[in-house]
């Protein structure tokens, strides 16, 4: 079966700080027309940080779409045209005041390909040290930093306080590989 | 540090078939104002299906946000008010013409909590049989069905033809548990 959809019209609905929204009219494989709602996003990185005493570094921050504060791995948006590794280094400094000797690539994935083009790059930070020069956080960015053991992470998972795709993948990666700082 | 943001205004930007978009004005913990762009979505389910000969059932479909056809696990949107297990049974029939004796809960997660409230429920379908009564697919839904071995899955991952969060998590779950139909 042919699958390709051909765009015949793009309507720009919204241009925001984080996302844009377009509605595309497409021709389906059977020749009929349909509309597709598409959220545009520059992509993001998430960083897996495991300390020498086998704790995961997490930030707790308010997520307005969920109307609660949750634990997530350090993460942030890629600036337009920025290399994801540059984003990773910047966010690791901004959010948890650490630098890394190496960012090991773990995975990349589209968070929700049905309606969004956001791509997430997941790295494991190796050789972490405290930064001397702290970068300024984004306007309106408030967070608390935590180090949780695997048992504490499981507890927060159960309570629904860890509940997003990148952090769940980071935890599964940790459990599969039992990684820690040397 | 206090983290909570208080909503003082909600502007409804867009109401679509799949998503709605709101912009909320919030009061930050420091008393300043900011805006939050929020995509509303009713949630979705993804279903892990492993055959008795240890192959993963995947559907290939066009994703307009990515402008390509990719392999994903069977999945679909939750209708407003629908129980996710009902969605899972419906989508398993609609997409791959199977029913399951049991849907084992694997995980649930917000796909992108920075800008969307979409929650994904991941299940493992156990005791699969071919359905007698096929449910109609959604309008504009075109897909091809595949069964891939773990080696073939790894190959498609490398080629970027498997590239979304739920399917990557399904594959990691498969590798961690080496599940198959009894």
Residues A165 and A92 in one domain: yes
pLDDT of res. A182: 58
ipTM of the complex: 0.95
Residues B48 and B136 in one domain: yes
Q: In this structure, what token pair is assigned to residue B182?
A: 């009894």
What mean pLDDT do residues B17-23 have?
Answer: 98
- Contact check, Cβ <8 Å, A34/B144: no
Using only C-alpha atoms, chain A has a radius of gyration, in whole angstroms, of: 19
With beta carbons under 8 A apart, name residues in chain B contacting A166: 165
CATH of the domain at B168: 3.90.79.10
- What percentage of chain A exceeds 90 in pLDDT? 91
pLDDT of res. A137: 87
- Angstrom distance (rounded) from CA A152 to CA A130: 24
Write the pLDDT tens digit of every residue in B101-158.
Answer: 999 999 999 999 999 999 999 999 999 999 989 999 887 789 999 999 999 999 999 9
Between chain A and chain B, how many beta carbons pairs sit less than 8 Å apart? Answer: 192
Residues B146 and B98 in one domain: yes
In this predicted structure, the answer to whether residue A83 has a pLDDT above a threshold of 90 is: yes
Which residues have a Cβ under 8 Å from the Cβ of B136 and sit 6 or more positions away?
B94
Residue of A nearest to B18 (CA): A37
Residues A74 and A138 in one domain: yes
Residues A61 and A85 in one domain: yes
Which residues have a Cβ under 8 Å from the Cβ of B81 and sit 6 or more positions away?
none
- Angstrom distance (rounded) from CA A5 to CA A35: 10
- Indicate whether A1 belongs to any domain: no
With beta carbons under 8 A apart, name residues in chain A contacting B12: none
In this predicted structure, the answer to whether residue A33 has a pLDDT above a threshold of 90 is: yes
Angle of CA points A62, A17, B164, to nearest 5°? 70
Residues B157 and B170 in one domain: yes
With beta carbons under 8 A apart, name residues in chain B contacting A110: 63, 65-66, 163-165
Residue B180's pLDDT band, with cuts at 50, 70 and 90, is low
- Indicate whether A82 belongs to any domain: yes
Residues B48 and B30 in one domain: no
Residue A166's pLDDT band, with cuts at 50, 70 and 90, is very high
pLDDT of res. B182: 58
- Indicate whether A120 belongs to any domain: yes
- Where does residue A81 fall: left (phi above 0), alpha (psi -120 to 50 degrees), or beta otherwise? left
Residues B78 and B22 in one domain: no
CB-CB: which of A35, A44, A64 is closest to B38? A64
With beta carbons under 8 A apart, name residues in chain A contacting B37: 14, 16-19
Residues A36 and A48 in one domain: no
Residues B34 and B105 in one domain: no
Identify the bridge partners of residue A56 per DSSP, sorted by sequence position: A50, A148
- Angstrom distance (rounded) from CA A44 to CA A42: 7
Whether B43 and B110 have beta carbons less than 8 Å apart is answered as: no
Q: Considering its fold, how many domains does chain A have in total?
A: 2
Identify the bridge partners of residue B120 per DSSP, sorted by sequence position: B44, B109
Note down the domain range covering B14. 6-40
In this predicted structure, the answer to whether residue A67 has a pLDDT above a threshold of 90 is: yes
């Amino acid at each position: 079966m042919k699958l390709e959809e051909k765009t015949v019209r793009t309507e720009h609905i919204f241009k925001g700080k984080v996302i844009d929204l377009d509605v595309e009219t497409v021709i389906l494989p059977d020749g009929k027309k349909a509309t597709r709602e598409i959220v545009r996003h520059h992509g993001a990185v998430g960083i897996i940080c495991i300390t020498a005493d086998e704790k995961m570094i997490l930030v707790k921050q308010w997520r307005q779409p969920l109307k609660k504060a949750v634990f997530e791995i350090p993460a942030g948006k890629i600036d337009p045209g920025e290399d994801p590794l540059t984003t990773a280094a910047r966010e690791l400094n901004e959010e948890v005041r650490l630098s890394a000797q190496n960012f090991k690539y773990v995975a990349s994935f589209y968070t929700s390909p049905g309606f969004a083009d956001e791509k997430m790059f997941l790295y494991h930070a190796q050789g972490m040290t405290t930064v001397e020069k702290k970068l300024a956080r984004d306007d309106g960015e408030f967070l608390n930093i935590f180090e949780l053991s695997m048992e504490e992470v499981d507890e927060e998972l159960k309570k629904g306080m860890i509940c997003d795709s990148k952090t769940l993948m980071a935890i599964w990666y940790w459990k599969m590989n039992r990684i820690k700082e040397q």
